[in-house]
């Protein structure tokens, strides 16, 4: 191979994608919260006295909205396309966790170890969710998170980057509404009465939106920090908003 005579003859390579300092960490945080909320949270039902009555909810509902906060930060700072990658990463992690749970539960038990008599039923109780709940969880997460990211990216264009609170809360209202409206009917239709379904969907929707509202100052702080640290404030002016892509 002959050496180029001048720099103009050097081969031209496409520019590398920009590297961000905190994007990967936010992706890991998002997936971690998502998996923990779906694997650990459903194992416990809570009953808390409130205003003369009792609120009953799954423990995971306290933490699951945090994944939406990470989703808001990712879309606001890095744009829809990069948030899309994170959503697909979370979806793939949920599939793997589900398959692993099924395999671990179905593997033959070593009967020579006495503690397996306790562990196996516990594993089946905590991780052996019915197929309807697993399917409902995956569909609801996928649709809800993409709705959340799409609304936030669009609202950022409409508001010209102002009024962050309107799009973090507005996108959560839509995203969590889609999530709740899909999950509970798919998982429990025919098992619960129509009235119970409506009440549970409404309560969980309002509860998760309430978490977003309370956490708004934290979201502001994280967004501001990431924008300064990354030197990025992405506007999706030319973005292809299809969810079925992994391109930047």
Please calculate the CA angle 142-146-148 and round it to the nearest 5 degrees. 120
Whether residue 164 lies inside any domain: the answer is yes
Res. 248 pLDDT band, cuts 50 70 90: confident
Question: What is the mean pLDDT of the segment spanning 111-122?
Answer: 89
Question: What is the mean pLDDT of the segment spanning 73-78?
Answer: 98
> Which range has the worst mean pLDDT, 118-127, 204-213, 219-228?
118-127
Residue 34: both structure tokens together? 């998502």
How high is the pLDDT of residue 110? 93
How high is the pLDDT of residue 125? 80
How high is the pLDDT of residue 60? 78
The rounded distance, in Å, linking the Cα atoms of 101 and 40 is 12
Asked if the model's pLDDT at residue 74 lies above 70, the reply is yes
Helix or strand (DSSP H, E) at 54: strand 53-58
Whether residue 180 lies inside any domain: the answer is yes
The DSSP secondary-structure symbol of 79 reads -
Question: What is the mean pLDDT of the segment spanning 92-102?
Answer: 94
Whether residue 186 lies inside any domain: the answer is yes
- Overall pTM > 0.75: yes
SS3 129: coil
How high is the pLDDT of residue 150? 98
Domain total for the chain?
1
Whether residue 109 lies inside any domain: the answer is yes
Identify the domain containing residue 225 by its residue range. Answer: 20-44+56-230
The DSSP secondary-structure symbol of 189 reads B
Residues near 139 by Cβ (< 8 Å), separated by ≥ 6? 182, 183, 186
Nearest to 78 by CA among 38, 30, 141: 30
SS3 162: coil
User: Is residue 42 classed exposed, middle or buried when 0-12, 13-18 and 19+ CB atoms within 10 A define those classes?
Assistant: middle
Res. 43 pLDDT band, cuts 50 70 90: low
Whether residue 218 lies inside any domain: the answer is yes
Res. 201 pLDDT band, cuts 50 70 90: very high
CA dist list (Å): 199 to 143, 207, 247: 21, 12, 40
Whether residue 196 lies inside any domain: the answer is yes
Nearest to 243 by CA among 150, 139, 137: 150
Whether residue 88 lies inside any domain: the answer is yes
Nearest to 39 by CA among 22, 73, 63: 63
φ/ψ (deg, to 5) at 238: -120, 25
Asked if the model's pLDDT at residue 247 lies above 50, the reply is yes
The rounded distance, in Å, linking the Cα atoms of 89 and 108 is 31
For residue range 130-183, list pLDDT tens digits in order.
Answer: 788 889 999 999 999 999 999 999 999 999 999 999 999 999 999 999 999 999
Whether residue 133 lies inside any domain: the answer is yes
What is the distance in angstroms between the CA of the first residue and the CA of the last residue of the chain?
A: 35
The rounded distance, in Å, linking the Cα atoms of 171 and 152 is 5
């Amino acid at each position: 191979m002959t050496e180029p005579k001048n720099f103009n003859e050097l081969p031209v390579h496409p520019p590398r994608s920009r590297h961000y300092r905190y994007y990967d960490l936010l992706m890991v945080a998002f997936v971690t919260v998502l998996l923990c909320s779906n694997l650990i949270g459903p194992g416990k039902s809570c009953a808390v006295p409130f205003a003369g009555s009792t609120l009953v909810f799954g423990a995971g509902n306290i933490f699951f909205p945090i994944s939406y906060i990470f989703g808001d930060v990712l879309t606001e700072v890095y744009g829809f396309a990069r948030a899309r990658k994170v959503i697909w990463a979370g979806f793939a992690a949920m599939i793997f966790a589900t398959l692993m749970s099924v395999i671990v539960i179905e593997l033959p038990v070593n009967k020579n170890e006495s503690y397996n008599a306790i562990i196996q039923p516990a594993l089946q109780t905590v991780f052996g969710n019915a197929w309807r709940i697993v399917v409902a969880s995956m569909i609801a997460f996928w649709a809800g998170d993409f709705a959340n990211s799409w609304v936030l990216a669009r609202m950022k264009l409409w508001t010209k980057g102002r009024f962050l609170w309107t799009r973090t809360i507005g996108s959560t209202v839509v995203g969590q509404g889609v999530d709740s409206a899909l999950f509970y009917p798919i998982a429990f239709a025919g098992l619960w009465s129509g009235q119970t379904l409506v009440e549970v969907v409404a309560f969980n929707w309002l509860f998760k939106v309430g978490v977003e509202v309370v956490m708004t100052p934290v979201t502001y702080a994280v967004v501001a920090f990431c924008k300064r640290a990354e030197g990025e404030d992405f506007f999706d002016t030319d973005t292809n908003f299809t969810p079925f892509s992994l391109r930047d």
